[in-house]
Structure 1
Amino acid sequence: MNPFLQTVAEYPGREFVAGDFILRQGDACTELHVLLEGDVEVIRDDVRVAKISESGSVFGEMSLLLGGPCTASVRALGPVRVASILRPREFLASSADASLHIAELLAHRIDALNRYLVDVKHQYEGHDHLGMVDAVLDALMHRPRKKKA
């Protein structure tokens, strides 16, 4: 069994059926959800960006870490069971294993995005509209400044 799944085993499980939203983009995101079983889709701005079926996948971590509303929607594609962590910041602060697991998931996503953007840049080298790709790659490599209130 995935060690992270053992870490979240004590947290309450929730079940969803096909079509249920686990998270909705733009809503307040106060819980961290860990996929225990089933298939979900991640939707951002009405575009399906991922289908996930791997136990131990986490939803709500970006909002938690960025301190804002849900950045995407997560919808069940069939029967789904998740562990829901109601005090996620306390959970991450108390568990180095959980924090490392989430850091590794985020690192894999950033790596995949970097490889994709570099591939796009190579494919369209010499086209004027690729300044955006440079800006995205630059933003991925540097910590963004906090917005002034």
Structure 2
Amino acid sequence: MVCIAFALLLFTGCKKGNNDTDKPLRYIAENGKLKGILDLNIVGTEFYGRYEIVNGVNGSDIGQVRGKIKGDTLIGNYYYKPWAGTNKKRIPIALLKKDGYLLEGKGVVVEFVNIPHFSPDIPIDFSNPRFIFIPVTDTISIKK
């Protein structure tokens, strides 16, 4: 019994301190009447989090992002419920890490087995991003 307790203590004491999952990183962006709020968790080569697109006076698209990190690019999916719709939607998302910011790229979307993703034959364009996300260190100051 003492050996089991010691082994449990040893394993929990040697647990890697992974602060990536403790608190999501918050990013905000604006583009005209659109505002993006991204709460992002990064764990190893994967990311997940919450993404909200505020459409001015029309409402918000709120959902989850999840995907993989390849170099300086985060590629995944955005599952959301449109402000005026009842059915959840899924679209691909690509974010480029550049100078501490995240740039949301645009690409050609194709479907395979009814699952949308960016075409592997056409590069994702980050030269004119829809959003440039700025990291926020003081999450209390964010207003929707």
Q: Do the structures match in fold with TM over 0.5? A: no
**Bigger Cα Rg:** 2
TM-score, structure 2 normalization:
0.24
Where relative contact order (Cα < 8 A, 6+ residues apart) is larger, the structure is 1
Normalized per residue, the structure richer in helix is 1
TM-score, structure 1 normalization:
0.24
